[in-house]
Amino acid sequence: MAAIHLNPQSFSSKLEKIYSKTYPYTPQRSFHLQINAVSGKFLIDSGAVRAVTPKEAGIALKSEALKMLDVRPEWEREKASVVGSFHVPLFVKDPDNSLITLIKKWVHLGYIGLWTGQKFTTINSEFVSQVQGIVPDKESMLLVACGEGLRSMVAVSKLHEAGYTNLEWLAGGFVRAKDGDFPVEGDEKLQYATIGGVSYYFLKILNLLQAGDIST
């Protein structure tokens, strides 16, 4: 039986045609993010982008040849980041203050923002060009990371499409990291940096309760 070779970019284009026919009223931003996420997963599953665990990544980063790209928003990175990583956010805070967007921000705050601490964001339209400005050599080894792995999955799709050929993906994101996997700077544990809002205080209370159980 002849081997079947799939081109991820061609695969993404085919998906776009299928989705546009099936979901003609899907907002463009949401639509393209879905395509990028599916394309990113395809790249990882096919081996075109290598998935690495936090422990493996921490060891590999000791080599000067590998660079870590942190694609989290600024407010997550400020809490904790990997020493030596560089930062280009995939999503940025949405500056639009039109009536419709303000209503969306209010709904987001009520249903998501207060609990998670996540701000209402929009895709960073200059993401690829900003990465290119920092890492112009598209054969450089890049380890793409985020909090939970989904945003970095979208990012590897965009970077692969832009011509980057040596991409790695941090499997599960920083929430899967353990103390000691990476050298960290910041006031928070790396694996907790994604957590904010009310859920952050619940986490702190839970940690205090667990510490009390251990001490007794």
Closest to 15 (Cα-Cα) out of 28, 43, 29, 34:
34
Q: What six digits make up the tokens of 114?
A: 């207060």
> What's 191's DSSP letter?
G
> Among residues 59, 85, 50, 52, which one has the least CA distance to residue 181?
59
Q: For tokens 């965009």, name the residue.
A: 158
| 146 is an active site residue | yes
Tokens of 194: 């994604």
Alpha-carbon distance of 53 to 170, in angstroms, equals 6
Sheet arrangement for strand 66-70: 50-52, 166-170, 141-145, 66-70, 86-87
User: Which of 144, 145, 146, 167 does the annotation list as catalytic?
Assistant: 146
**What's the rounded Cα separation, in Å, for the pair 196 and 122?**
19
In sequence order, which ranges of the chain are alpha helices (DSSP H)?
A: 8-22, 28-46, 54-60, 74-77, 99-108, 114-116, 127-134, 150-161, 197-215
Catalytic residue numbers, as ranges: 146
